Amino acid sequence: MRPYKQGGFDSKSTSHGLFHVDVKDYSLIPKEEDDMFYAIYRRANTLLQAGRTWMGRSRYPSAGNAFQKAINSLKNCRMSSFEQECQQTDLLIALLENLMVCFNKMRRSRCVCNAMKDLRLLTRNNPSWWALCQEGRALEALGKYHRARVSYIRALKKRPGEQRIKEEITRISKRIGDLEETKQMLSQLSI
């Protein structure tokens, strides 16, 4: 409502006492177009799609840059409702999981572990089986085989029928067994 204004009335307005009511005036209701969150959310979603396109073309550095831009813009965005927080969280999870794949393809294992830390915070330490597999690959590349096996086992608990995870656990367990054998042999030789 606006205070009564001089100058006549048009067909889209009404007058009640001292106030002039303009039907087009929805200033108290936040519009989706006016809310900055939705603009940033649409841009981040576009960057997610662009990053997936780059991944399909095996252009992992370009895809990683797109995902990181989207993550940075979403993290710094202010939200005004619980619905917006849920949308932000869902999109951030998708972006971080795709970023982990890119980092693994580029052999940047420490970056995968850092992205997993952020993902664990977002999901309350309950990441998806796919993210756990990505973490397992990164930990294996870093030489942390026991932690990698734990990550794969957690992924298998979430997705029991997945044959690829079973194969990874078997492969890494064999590697851990070979390392233990080698350590025993070396300790016996050094005595």
With a cut of 90, say whether residue 114 has pLDDT above it.
yes
Residue 82, pLDDT score: 93
CA distance 160 to 42: 35
Q: Which residue has the tokens 């917006």?
A: 84
The whole-number average pLDDT for the span 104-132 is 96
The whole-number average pLDDT for the span 170-179 is 91
| Among candidate residues 163, 75, 159, 147, the one with its CA nearest the CA of residue 109 | 147
Residue 17, pLDDT score: 53
Going by DSSP bridges, is the β-strand pair 2-3/13-16 parallel, antiparallel, or unpaired? unpaired
126-135, 155-164, 180-189: the lowest-pLDDT one = 180-189
pLDDT band at 28, cuts 50/70/90?
A: very low
Angle between helices 82-105 and 109-122 (to 10 degrees): 160
Count of C-beta atoms within a 10 Å radius of residue 58? 9
Going by DSSP bridges, is the β-strand pair 19-22/13-16 parallel, antiparallel, or unpaired? antiparallel
With a cut of 90, say whether residue 65 has pLDDT above it.
yes
Angle between helices 129-141 and 82-105 (to 10 degrees): 40
User: Please, where are the H alpha helices in the chain?
Assistant: 36-56, 60-75, 82-105, 109-122, 129-141, 145-158, 163-190
CA distance 54 to 61: 9
Can you give the residue ranges of every domain in the chain? Answer: 127-191
Give me the CATH topology for the region 127-191.
Answer: 1.25.40
pLDDT digits 0-9 by tens, 7-24: 555 555 555 555 555 555
